[in-house]
Amino acid sequence: MEERRPNRSTGGITARVIAAIVTVLAALLVLTAPAAAAPDPAPAGANDFDCKPSAEHPRPVVLVHGLAATQGANWGFMSPRLKAAGYCVFSLTYGQDDRLDAFPYSPGGVIRMQESSKQLKAFVAKVLAATGAREVDLVGHSEGTVMPRWYLENRGGARFVKRFVALTPLWRGTEIGGTAFLRDVAAPYGLSAPLIDAVAQFCASCPQFLRGSDYMNKLNRDGERIKGVIHTNIATATDELVVPYTSGLMNDGGTNIVLQDICPADLSEHAAVAADPVVAQLILNALKPKTAQPVQC
């Protein structure tokens, strides 16, 4: 009788997919594990709803955090600096999972980005009503760059936003850990959907970040740049989560900045850019180019 040998190719793919599932789920468990901390407040300088924009800075700045962060965790460095520069600064924590509400710490940005965009829409409307401004400027980090695109493109937000400064954006998604590649390779074997479903149980937004996801494809159907919005994209070549980091450089417009082109010795990676003085100056320059100052490396 002829001996049946396992299909090495199929077995190898299955093993890689299982390994990817384990790796992604382990990372998500770390990201979403509750920490023994008090409820997260707004960062210093943010959410003074009595603040009235000045003639010098007529648009409030709305800060939009990244995946698994909160407004306080993400913007503790940038918010007081923007406030000190004369801006009315506002921030929100969006996209929290109701299942984690009873925990001391509930990470933001973990629900579907379409749903989070509703929260951003409501918050911007609240800011405009309180300040009397007609438009805001957005400063987003990581998920805070691609989630707002749904608000801008599909919820009428573009008419209320003048400038959009994006830190470590991923306009064409990410290939982190080869996950998007594994998804595509596993699809013919019926393994792609279980992988996506397993991850989505912990983090509904996570599969949406992948290159070629339905979410990314819908956003980019008519291009990456949003008409009427002035885009500044700040990427870092040491980004370990946006892979390749060039996914954050728009193909069809906007000002693209790679941090190391400005300061070659600056090794700030994906998270560290939110606490980088060089990036702070780049943000201020992008918000008001007429008064841009030289960047001190």
Does some domain include residue 170? yes
Determine what percent of the chain falls in helix, strand and coil, rounding each to the nearest 5: 45, 10, 40
Q: What is the pTM of this model?
A: 0.84
d(CA 236, CA 175): 16
d(CA 59, CA 132): 10
pLDDT averaged over the chain? 85
Does some domain include residue 77? yes
Domain count, the chain: 1
Nearest Cα to 260, choosing from 243, 240, 238? 238
Does some domain include residue 18? no
Does some domain include residue 30? no
d(CA 163, CA 136): 8
Q: What is the pLDDT of residues 213-237, one digit of tens each?
A: 999 999 999 999 999 999 999 999 9
Q: What is the pLDDT of residues 13-28, one digit of tens each?
A: 444 544 554 454 444 4
Name the strands in the sheet holding 161-167, side by side, starting at the edge strand that comes first in the sequence: 89-92, 61-64, 136-141, 161-167, 230-235, 255-258
Backbone dihedral angles phi then psi of residue 196, each to the nearest 5 degrees: -65, -45
Does some domain include residue 66? yes
Does some domain include residue 179? yes
DSSP E strands, the chain: 61-64, 89-92, 136-141, 161-167, 230-235, 255-258
Q: Left, alpha or beta for 47 (phi > 0: left; psi -120 to 50: alpha)?
A: left
Does some domain include residue 191? yes
**pLDDT score of 18:** 46
**pLDDT score of 21:** 46
The CATH number linked to 191 is 3.40.50.1820
Does some domain include residue 183? yes
Q: What is the pLDDT of residues 70-103, one digit of tens each?
A: 999 999 999 999 999 999 999 999 999 988 776 7
Domain hosting 260: range is 46-289
